[in-house]
């Protein structure tokens, strides 16, 4: 399973799920976006560690969803991306994943926003 986490564009991975990804799933310091080891980084903050505009996050999410669709044999454990250190709410971020493929599993906190048709793994 690929661990999907919220990051910053600088790839600092200094806290929360990003730090966990660096320690346990091969996230690479200095790479803030994309597949790294057994993880995938979706930026929700810029290089100055300030929250990105939702439109920019949505573009990064679309890139991830394209990647997940292109890799149907892999499963993706999506954390509540952007809902920790970046300060976004589940209500703001979860809907960006509404058309995710079936190989994506989500944090339970997003069930009210994504519905019962999606798969869930628990919470980080």
pTM of the model: 0.96
Q: What is the tens place of the pLDDT at every residue in 11-51? A: 999 999 999 999 999 999 999 999 999 999 999 999 999 99
For residue 78, what are the contacts with CB-CB under 8 A and spacing of at least 6? 4, 97, 100, 104, 105, 106, 107
Q: What is the tens place of the pLDDT at every residue in 72-123? A: 999 999 999 999 999 999 999 999 999 999 999 999 999 999 999 999 999 8
């Amino acid at each position: 399973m690929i661990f999907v986490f919220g990051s910053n564009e600088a790839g600092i991975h200094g806290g929360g799920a990003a730090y966990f990804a660096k320690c346990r799933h091969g996230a690479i310091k200095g790479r803030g976006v994309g597949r790294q080891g057994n993880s995938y980084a979706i930026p929700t903050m810029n290089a100055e560690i300030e929250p990105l505009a939702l439109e920019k996050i949505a573009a990064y999410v679309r890139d991830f969803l394209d990647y997940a669709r292109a890799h149907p044999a892999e499963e993706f454990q999506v954390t509540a991306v952007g809902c920790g250190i970046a300060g976004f709410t589940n209500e703001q971020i979860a809907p960006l994943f509404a058309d995710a493929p079936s190989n994506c599993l989500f944090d339970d906190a997003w069930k009210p926003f994504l519905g019962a048709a999606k798969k869930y793994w628990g919470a980080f």
